[in-house]
Structure 1
């Protein structure tokens, strides 16, 4: 039996960077000012539904720094962070891998559906996020 281990602050930030970054990428795949407010509420609801190690990581500590000049730069940070986050959980809290994956994809999908349904660009970004989460360890 594998025991759950506490995550370091750096590991928590990696989980948070992946999750918050995924939401950011989907929200910006089909931007709109009014939509952003609806999308923010949708994402926060999905993250609030998390539990255990995942909830602790997503609701404590500093927010990730996602300031970059372009969506491609942000994507180059977020997608690898998602893969690292899954790897961290596989090592330290394997039972929480599915929870993290569900929370990230759930938040991304809620964001995409929050304003007039899912746009093709949002669906494509969600597939990229799913691919990052599914990378083998």
Structure 2
């Protein structure tokens, strides 16, 4: 049974999803790459549906740190894990949708400019781990 998300819970889902894209995009920075990567991510997010779409399209954009990659990671990776927990509790059917959407967006961003670099692949792997079921 699906339950409505609070504004804070929606923000957690957004922080995880948009932050994952930001992590991959910043793994290999560059202005032209960033433009292509933004289009790739928006295409993946456009495929969202249900509660996940509602969370990603409503309200303000998340505020992510910009000082260092480690600081961004320290916010984004826990948000991804928390997003999975929130969905598991409120809308279990949307857990796999969220995971697939975030991973698809991250992978599309990695491929968007001259193929996947080792740094981008590493960022996608960290995102995949953060989205995984706890052991």
Structure 2 residue aligned with 1:27 = 25
Structure 1 residue aligned with 2:121 = 123
Moved more, 19-28 or 59-68: 59-68
Structure 1 residue aligned with 2:71 = 73
Separation in 1 of the partners of 2:133 and 2:99? 12
Structure 1 residue aligned with 2:8 = 10
Structure 1 residue aligned with 2:56 = 58
SS at match of 1:66: coil
Which sections of structure 2, spanning at least 5 residues, go unmatched? none
Moved over 3 A (4+): none
How far does the alpha carbon of each residue in 1:7-63 deviate from its partner, in whole angstroms, 9 at most, with x for none? 000000000000000000000001111010000000000001010000000011011
TM-score scaled by length of structure 1:
0.96
TM-score scaled by length of structure 2:
0.98
Structure 1 residue aligned with 2:99 = 101
Which sections of structure 1, spanning at least 5 residues, go unmatched? none
Separation in 1 of the partners of 2:98 and 2:108? 15
